Chains A and B, each alone.
Chain A
Amino acid sequence: MDRRRFLVLSVLGVASLTFVPGLMRTSLAASKLEEDIQKRLGVSLSQIKESADVKLQAPTIAESGANVPVSVESDIPVEKVDSIWIFVDNNPSPWITDVKLTPMNGKVYFATRIKMGQTSNVRAILKLKDGSYLMATKEVKVTVGGCG
């Protein structure tokens, strides 16, 4: 191996070592949520549309990530709704909970408290009986994480 090829190869090697892990990390973080949604809902995140009909309430800033109150509400008749799903983008496991509703609920409402490891988007997804999905997203800033 002559000197020029050696130099080119070593530059490439250093470049790949520094850039590739960074790229992999971001793509992994993004796909963890997508994977979870694909696995649990059977659709990809890009197919779910944002809707103002889903009202997601969560604090803008949460002091403790161990206890973040969220509630989901909608004026869509409960007869048309199958279930409510809650995801947190940056959690080690993005899926938090899902609730199957029945007409006996009277309206679409669900409240709980969730854990958040760091500042992240919280997503509430409504699965409708006709097979479509509606989503509301809200960013919650977390000062102290609650996942470790």
Chain B
Amino acid sequence: MAVGTGILRVPKEAKKGEIVKVQMVITHPMEPGTRKDPQTGQLIPAYHLTKLEVFFNDKTVSVIDMGGGVSANPFIGLTLKVEESGIVKISYEDNKGGKWEKTAEIRVV
């Protein structure tokens, strides 16, 4: 999968006021910049996500800062209190200027 591809998983339906899990996996090598290439002995340049923001109906839910210490293809799990139907949006960027977005919908029943 291409770098930056994200999977965002939320329940399709929730009760009003329910606390649901928001889980995501993003395809990214997360090179910390401290590793050496075993063949050439050269440092592998840093290439990792730096920031991930979670929105619900365009209101900020969480802001996550990260570095090369997070595993490759990072998984992140959070909670969200659902008071109304709406769109969960994650937007994330890496240290080389890559920027991506992903959305998912939750319906209050």
Contact = CB atoms under 8 A, between A and B. Distances in A.
Contacts of A13: none
A106 B80 contact: yes
Given A97-B65, A98-B65, A148-B36, A66 B78 contact: no
Contact of B79 (A67, A105, A148): A105
Interface string B61-80: 11111111111101111111
Nearest to B18: A106
A103 B75 CA distance: 22
A105 B61 contact: yes
Contacts of A105: 61-62, 78-81
Contacts of A101: 62
A93 B34 contact: yes
A67 B74 CA distance: 9
A110 B77 contact: yes
Given A67-B71, A93-B32, A148-B36, 11 more contacts: A69-B75, A71-B77, A91-B69, A92-B34, A99-B63, A99-B65, A100-B62, A104-B61, A107-B79, A111-B76, A148-B35
Contacts, number: 98
Interface of B: 19, 30, 32, 34-36, 56, 59-72, 74-81
A141 to B, nearest CB: 17
Nearest to A116: B69
A146 B71 CA distance: 9
A96 B67 contact: yes
Contacts of A88: 69
A102 B67 CA distance: 22
Contact of B69 (A97, A99, A106): A97
A101 B80 CA distance: 10
Contact of B32 (A92, A106, A109): A92
A112 B77 contact: yes
A66 B63 CA distance: 24
Nearest to B64: A99
Contacts of B30: 115
Nearest to B23: A111
B69 A148 contact: no
A16 to B, nearest CB: 30
Contacts of A100: 62-64
Interface in A96-148: 96-107, 109-115, 146-148
Nearest to A99: B64
B81 A106 contact: yes
